[in-house]
Amino acid sequence: MLDATNSYSFTTRAHFGTTSPLIFSDGTCDINGDGKKDIIFNNYDGYIVLFGDVSRFGNTRPLNESFADGINGFKIKVVQPERFPVCGDVNGDGIDDIMISTSQLFAGAVYVIFGSKSPLNATIDKFDGISGFVIHGETYLSLGIGKAICDVNGDGVKDLVYSTFMGFFGGVMSKENRVYVLYGVKNGTKFTNINNGQYNRYNIEEGKAFTIKDLFGLVVSCGDINNDGYDDIYLHNPNVQIVFGKATFPVNYEPKFDGKEALNISGIASSNLDIRYGVSSFGDFNGDGLTDMAVTNGNYSSYEVYIILGKQNENWPSTFDVKSRNSSNVIAFTKGSGSKAYNCDSLKMGDINGDGFDDLQCYSPEFVWVVFGSDLPFESVVDLSANTSPLFDECRGLILQDVNGRVLANADFNNDKILDLMVIKNKVVYGVYGEKIPMSASLGLIYTTFEYSANGTYNLLEGNYNPVSGKCPPTSIRVQVLNAQPSDSLDIASSNDIIVKKLSPSNIIIYNMNRDSKFLQKIAKIQYSTQRNDSIATINFKFYRFLDETISVNSIAPKIPHIDVIPCICPVNNTCVDSLCVPTGATDTNAGCAKYPCTYGLECNSTVNKCVIPSDCMSCADLKCRSNEKCEFRKSRISTVCKIFPFCLPN
- Indicate the number of domains in the chain: 4
pLDDT tens digits for range 390-436: 999 999 999 999 998 888 899 999 999 999 999 988 878 899 999 99
pLDDT of amino acid 278:
74
CA atoms of 595 and 420, how far apart (whole Å) = 78
- Whether 25 and 40 have beta carbons less than 8 Å apart is answered as yes
Which residues, in sequence order, are bridge partners of residue 347?
362
For residues 304 and 243, membership in a common domain is answered with no
pLDDT tens digits for range 432-461: 999 999 999 999 999 999 988 888 999 999
- Domain membership flag for residue 6: no
For residues 294 and 322, membership in a common domain is answered with yes
Using alpha carbons, select from 220, 179, 219, 185 the residue that is nearest to residue 201: 179
**pLDDT, mean over the chain:** 87
Question: What would the mean pLDDT of 199-204 be, rounded to a whole number?
Answer: 76
- 180-203 burial string, b = 16+ CB within 10 Å, else e? bbbbbbeeeeebebbeeebbebee
For residues 243 and 154, membership in a common domain is answered with yes
Report pTM.
Answer: 0.83
3-state secondary structure 422-442: EEEECCEEEEECCCCCCECEE
What is the distance, to the nearest Å, from the Cα of residue 433 to the centroid of all Cα atoms in its chain?
19
3-state secondary structure 450-513: ECCCCCCEEECCCCCECCEECCECCCEEEEEECCCCCCCEEECCCCCCEEEEEEECCEEEEEEC
CA atoms of 631 and 651, how far apart (whole Å) = 9
pLDDT of amino acid 19:
44
Q: Kindly give, in sequence order, each residue whose CB lies less than 8 Å from that of residue 489, ignoring residues fewer than 6 positions away.
A: 505, 506, 528, 529, 530
For residues 471 and 503, membership in a common domain is answered with yes
**Of the ranges 147-156, 195-204, 517-526, which one carries the lowest mean pLDDT score?**
195-204
SS3 143: coil
Q: How far is CA 346 from CA 42, 94, 423, 432, in A?
A: 17, 30, 11, 17
In the structure, what pLDDT confidence band is assigned to residue 18 with cuts at 50, 70 and 90? very low
Per the structure, the complete domain to which residue 283 belongs is given by 278-405
Q: Kindly give, in sequence order, each residue whose CB lies less than 8 Å from that of residue 620, ignoring residues fewer than 6 positions away.
A: 631, 633, 646
- Domain membership flag for residue 19: no
pLDDT tens digits for range 283-342: 999 999 999 999 987 556 667 899 999 999 999 999 999 998 998 999 999 987 777 888
Give the CATH number, domain containing residue 456.
2.60.40
- Domain membership flag for residue 9: no
Using alpha carbons, select from 325, 333, 348 the residue that is nearest to residue 386: 333
Which of 267, 301, 324 is the last residue in one of the domains?
Answer: 267
- Whether 77 and 125 have beta carbons less than 8 Å apart is answered as yes
Question: What would the mean pLDDT of 235-247 be, rounded to a whole number?
Answer: 91
For residues 289 and 249, membership in a common domain is answered with no
Which residues, in sequence order, are bridge partners of residue 203?
none
For residues 121 and 256, membership in a common domain is answered with yes
For residues 117 and 262, membership in a common domain is answered with yes
CA atoms of 250 and 310, how far apart (whole Å) = 27
- Domain membership flag for residue 527: yes
